[in-house]
Amino acid sequence: MTLVDNAVYVDGHRTANPTSLDETYEVMRERGGMAWIGLYRPEVEETRSVADEFGLHELAVEDALRGHQRSKLENYDSTLFVVLRPARYIDDVEKVEFGELHVFVGTDFLVSIRHAESLDLGQVRRRMEADPELLAMGSPAALYAILDAVVDAYSPVVDGLENDIDEIEDQIFNGDPGVSRRIYELSREVTEFQRATHPLEAMVGALEKGWEHFQVDVELQQRLRDVRDHVIRVVERVDSFRLLLQNALSVNATLVAQRQNEEMRRLSETSLAQNEEIKRISSWAAIIFAPTLIGTVYGMNFTHMPELEWAFGYPFSIALMVATGGVLYAVFKRMKWL
């Protein structure tokens, strides 16, 4: 059901609970007061019905139907169109989920259109109903309550993001290979959060000043000023997160480069050590090979072969082996292979 909650208020008190939009229009004409209509992902026909009844501007209605709007406040003659981006932090997956809330405000009505689960407007309504004096200020007071709830809901999100950044710092210095990806994903969330919160300061400031059709009570101005102060604190903290993540990415890149340099240095040292070992092995192999070659030649036992009948043939071959090995040893020693 898209019609979540629907009521007509007179002097801050709930006087009727219409079950349909047509009934709401009828009760408003009979009793006066303010209609507060809450819709959740309404059909096009329902949105058009509200637009026709309250004279909503066509451009604002198109934005509400299309969705995916940035946070903004637009003034269409006697109607305000407000787009808010509520957010909530999901602990299980450590992610920020953003919603979208459209609010149409007139002198005697407020229509809220939610496109996501986030932000419990029922709780906002109950809070206002518990304070009839505030609700008697009309639709601007109801809009204030919604803004206040959206901004208050940002605090747990900010705390969650701050905790994520602390974890990222630990991951960086522990050498976690997946930290770069997490920094990138968190940066995207922070950027989205900035888009949701940055316009709010100007929006709340404009509401505080009021317009021709919306004379804001002094009490309501003070409450809106408090909301604006909360917005400023949230924006400042979120902006600092962006800077911290940029620094974290730089530090991580530096540490990764240092670790790579250390690894390259170790590999180079290992390679040099292996080269030295190969030189030694090759040198001894050559030294051993020379006597083996001589012994192999004289061990072929051919009938006609020099020195076979020579009395000094054996001592000569042994001497030749030793001399060859000694010469090779000296050469390799001079080359510092040994």
Q: Which residues pair with 89 in a beta bridge?
A: 96
pLDDT at 276 over 90: no
- Using CA atoms, how far residue 54 sits from 28, 74, 81, in Å, is 11, 16, 12
Name, of 54-68, 138-152, 303-317, the range with top average pLDDT. Answer: 138-152
- CATH of span 275-334: 1.20.58
SS (H, E, C) 230-285: HHHHHHHHHHHHHHHHHHHHHHHHHHHHHHHHHHHHHHHHHHHHHHHHHHHHHHHH
Q: Please tell me which of 17-31, 33-47, 138-152 the model is most confident about, judged by mean pLDDT.
A: 138-152
Instruction: Give residue 159's pLDDT.
Output: 94
Lowest-confidence pick of 31-45, 181-195, 270-284 = 270-284
| Domains 3-257 and 275-334 equal at CATH topology level | no
Work out the mean pLDDT of the chain and round it to a whole number: 86
Cβ pair 124, 36 in contact under 8 A: no
- For the chain, the domains span 3-257, 275-334
Question: What pLDDT shows up at residue 131?
Answer: 93
**Range 200-212 average pLDDT:** 83
- The pLDDT of residue 337 is 75
* DSSP letter (8 states) at residue 93: T
Residue-level pLDDT at 334: 81
Q: Which two tokens stand for residue 96?
A: 């920020």
Query: In CATH, what is the architecture of 3-257?
Result: 2-Layer Sandwich (3.30)
Q: Is the pLDDT of residue 258 over 70?
A: yes
* pLDDT band, residue 69 (cuts 50/70/90): confident
Tell me what pLDDT residue 218 has: 83
Please indicate whether residue 248 or residue 3 has the higher confidence score (pLDDT): 248
- pLDDT score at 307: 65
d(CA 87, CA 186): 15
With a cut of 80, say whether residue 186 has pLDDT above it. yes
Task: Report the length, in residues, of the chain.
Answer: 338
